[in-house]
Amino acid sequence: MKSSFKLRPFISFFLSFSFIGLLITGIVLYIVPPGRIANWGGWTLMGLTKKQWEALHTTGALSFVIFSIMHIVLNWKVILNYLRHKSKRTLNRTKELIIAALLFIFIVIGTIANWAPFSTIMEIGEKISNSW
């Protein structure tokens, strides 16, 4: 018996693969040597140049966003139904929502303002990059 192609599992699998790809390319771009060294020195990792790693990361991120939107559209009824039935529980989780939002805002502001420990994370990346 032939099974027909199912869009929902396909999108879920693709999102999983995209997430793993973004994780890997993000780590590589975190440790890659600075532009001049990487570009002029012929730096490669697993046979790929810095520009190729950047391209993989950018196209992977764009694909992830597109497929995430598709995932939400395909599961919209399920999401709305979940929210309707769980609204009381969700409303009881206001503290978690506020703390998560505040933590996210703190990380964004801390990174932009170059506060520790965010500055330390970037300094470690620069040290690794410069060690090449």
User: Do 102 and 50 share a structural domain?
Assistant: no
Asked whether residue 102 carries a pLDDT value surpassing 80, the answer given is yes
- Residue 100, helix vs strand vs coil: helix
User: Do 53 and 1 share a structural domain?
Assistant: yes
Q: Return all residues near 41 (Cβ < 8 A) that are at least 6 apart.
A: 33
Top pLDDT among 113 and 79 is at: 113
Burial 18-47 (b: 16+ CB within 10 A, else e): beebbeebeebeeebbeeeebeeeebeeee
User: Do 66 and 18 share a structural domain?
Assistant: yes
Asked whether residue 83 carries a pLDDT value surpassing 80, the answer given is no
pLDDT of residue 2: 75
| d(C-alpha 132, C-alpha 54), whole Å | 18
Structural domain for 80, as ranges: 1-85
User: Do 3 and 68 share a structural domain?
Assistant: yes
User: Do 26 and 1 share a structural domain?
Assistant: yes
